[in-house]
Amino acid sequence: MNPTILFFLVLVGAPLVELYFLIEVGRVIGALPTLLLSLFTAALGAWLVRMQGLSVLFRVQRVLARGEAPALEMVEGALLLLAGLVLLFPGFVTDAMGFVLLVPPLRRALVVGWLRRSGVLRPPAAATGGDERPSLSVIEGEFHREEGPKDPGSSP
């Protein structure tokens, strides 16, 4: 689908869908409870995004301390930012999308699936059955040479 058309549909369609659901919920429970519920979900979402954002930040620090690239954690952080953004919009559909992004296993599955589809994350060669270059095992450690006894027949 053309990205321009998709952007236009989201820009126009999303507020109309939100407005429809706000009117329907307001019809069932009343205008003031609907307004309070919308404010409550925004506040709860902001608090949850803050807590999970700190959790992702600590995971990024742990991964960096191990000397690895925090790719998954960075994409999760971006999804948390998106979740916080849609939770601040008034409406129940965007709140539902935001709360789905706040569930860590679902968020991780979305990240891994997206990275696999984009070609960034590939399964190991043994899992694919390919004849790619074998992976090397690296064993970290320290060593030092000890000078042993010299041969009596050798000259210095």
Q: What gap in Å lies between CA 116 and CA 122, rounded to an integer?
A: 6
Q: What is the mean pLDDT of residues 32-58?
A: 91
pTM over 0.85: no
Task: Give per-residue pLDDT as tens, 53-62.
Answer: 899 999 999 9
Q: Which residue has the higher pLDDT, 131 or 27?
A: 27
pLDDT (0 to 100) of residue 29: 94
Q: Which two tokens stand for residue 59?
A: 């995971």
SS (H, E, C) the chain: CCHHHHHHHHHHHHHHHHHHHHHHHHHHHCHHHHHHHHHHHHHHHHHHHHHHHHHHHHHHHHHHHCCCCCHHHHHHHHHHHHHHHHHHCCCHHHHHHHHHHCCHHHHHHHHHHHHHHHCCCCCCHHHHCCCCCCCCCCCCCCCCCCCCCCCCCCCC
